[in-house]
Amino acid sequence: MIRNEIRLAVAGTMLIGVTYGLARFAFGLYLPGIRDDVGLSSAMAGIIGSSAYAGYCVSILASALLVERFGARCVAVAAALVAAAGMTMIAASMQPIWLLAGVLLAGASTGLASPPMAEAVARWVPASRQGRVNTVINAGTSVGVAVSGPVAFLATGQWRIAYAAFAVAAIFNAVLLFCSLPRASREVDAREDQDQTNANGRGKLCRPLALRLALVTVGMGFASAAYWTFSSEALVNLGHFNQSMANIVWILIGVAGLAGAVAGDLISRLGIDGVNRGSLAALALSLVLLALLPTSLPAVLISAVLFGAAYIMLTGVYLVWGIRLYWDRPGVGIGLPFLMIAVGQVIGSPLAGYLIGSQGYALCFTVFALVALFTGVVGYRDASQAAEERQHRDSDALHEARQRQVAALENLYMPAMPPLDLLAWAGNVIRRVVGRRRQPR
């Protein structure tokens, strides 16, 4: 059983590394060479880069539903093949339109990748080890980012060769996933689970605690957008470092992100709130260091380590958070937070660009650091605990209502004979009123 879990973790880690680290995030690293060869303007480069986010947002919404319909293995293999197709188109593109299509496909592969792995872990890994396996797989992003940096050194100026190699790696990963993930089976059990879910009133997308998860993930995605998009540019323009140093920092971000593999163990020790708030503070500090000390090499390196570790740690935290919230639909549990992270990044990137253009890097990174800190105000609440609290509140409210009813009944005058005193008082009042009207004027 442990051997099967290791195979699942290795195949899943490689899938996340191929889709996120290579197909999605590596584009920014190779963009200078791509712009020169394909002939892209700054505006066109921005549009093409944002298409990866658009593909991601669409595909991650579809992926959770596809996993429930076709199973984890089918969708995971499809994600690897879509990544291979997208990176092949990038490698062969000679015109902006084909590059746009390739980046769009490559970005879509990231949305397809995460939900099937969450479903596979939920189905085939014991509950006691699911958090650890999920966060190990999630750290695959760092592996891909770390690999793309050395490849950039080895294939200097040869981004087409790099992307062709990445496409071959994606095809190999598709074969590995096909061999490592069990076939979806036992449709009868699945129907029984669905019936039980419906009987319990669960399975719905809109849940009371989903808003907390959406807020914290949008805030984290927003705060991280400035670093992902403009950190390399800040190193060159403010720090006066060359592109080779930017590549080294990129590799360091990826290597540091491997610390996110222990997110599951840290959550079991410190809880979701402790890991979430500590990681958001580290993310904020990485932005502050880049804002205040962009010319200091030690500060830049520390900033890269903090950002890489904090970002992957936070994605692991929200993965666990989402799966706990949507325990009966793990594909949705991972799809929702990752979609909201992307939404935050889509909002944050253009705003960061506006602030940099109008106010400078220092103010921009400081503002985004404050957003990261304020995001930590949103706390985690366990769904079962919230349900118990609601049940207690409902029973307390019912008890208070019953007490009020009893009190009302006790105060209500219900005599065995007519209230003679009350009738006499009423009669006197009526008589005085009538007597006043009859007085001559």
Distance CA 382, CA 46 (A): 40
Cα separation, 84 vs 158, in Å, equals 18
Where are the CATH 1.20.1250.20 domain residues in the chain? Answer: 1-181, 209-383
Q: Which two tokens stand for residue 109?
A: 């592969």
Name the residue among 274, 278, 256, 319 with its Cα closest to residue 130.
319
Among 153, 19, 29, CA closest to 87? 19
Instruction: Please report the pLDDT score of residue 163 as a whole number.
Output: 92
State how far the Cα of 25 lies from the Cα of 29, in Å rounded to an integer. Answer: 8
Check: CB of residue 15 under 8 Å from CB of residue 79: yes
Say which residues have a Cβ less than 8 Å from residue 313's Cβ, sequence separation at least 6: 259, 260, 263, 266, 275, 279, 282
Q: Residue 321: what are its φ and ψ, rounded to 5°?
A: -55, -50
Question: What letters, b where the CB count within 10 A reaches 16 and e where it falls short, cover 370-404?
Answer: ebbbebbebebbebeeeeeeeeeeeeeeeeeeeee
What is d(CA 301, CA 286) in angstroms, rounded to the nearest whole number? 10
Crossing angle of helices 2-16 and 159-180, rounded to 10°: 150
Residue with tokens 């009893």: 406
pLDDT of residue 77: 94
- pTM for the model stands at 0.70
> 209-383 architecture in CATH?
Up-down Bundle (1.20)
Cα dihedral 260, 286, 215, 383, rounded to 10, equals: 30
Residue 148 tokens, joined: 């793309």
**Domain 1-181 CATH superfamily:** MFS general substrate transporter like domains (1.20.1250.20)
Helix axis angle for 297-325 and 243-256, nearest 10°, is 40
- CB count within 10 Å of CB 307 equals 26
Report CA-CA distances (Å) from 112 to 115, 258, 259: 7, 22, 24
User: Which amino acid is it at 278?
Assistant: G
What's the confidence (pLDDT) of residue 367? 94
Rounded distance, CA 193 to CA 154, Å? Answer: 51
Q: What is the pLDDT along the chain (441 residues), one digit of tens a residue?
A: 477 778 888 899 999 989 888 887 777 778 777 878 888 776 677 678 777 877 888 888 788 788 878 888 899 999 999 999 999 999 999 888 999 999 999 989 988 988 888 788 878 888 777 777 877 887 787 788 778 777 877 766 788 998 999 999 999 999 999 988 877 654 334 444 444 444 444 456 566 677 788 899 999 999 998 888 788 778 877 888 887 787 788 888 888 888 777 777 788 788 888 889 999 999 999 999 998 998 899 999 999 999 999 998 898 888 888 888 877 766 677 778 888 888 888 788 778 888 887 888 889 999 999 999 999 888 766 655 544 444 555 455 545 544 444 343 333 333 333 333 443 444 455 445 545 555 555
Start-to-end C-alpha separation, the chain: 105
pLDDT of the residue at 436:
57
CA-based torsion, 22, 24, 25, 30: positive or negative? positive
Region of residue 360 (left: phi > 0; alpha: psi -120 to 50; beta: else): left
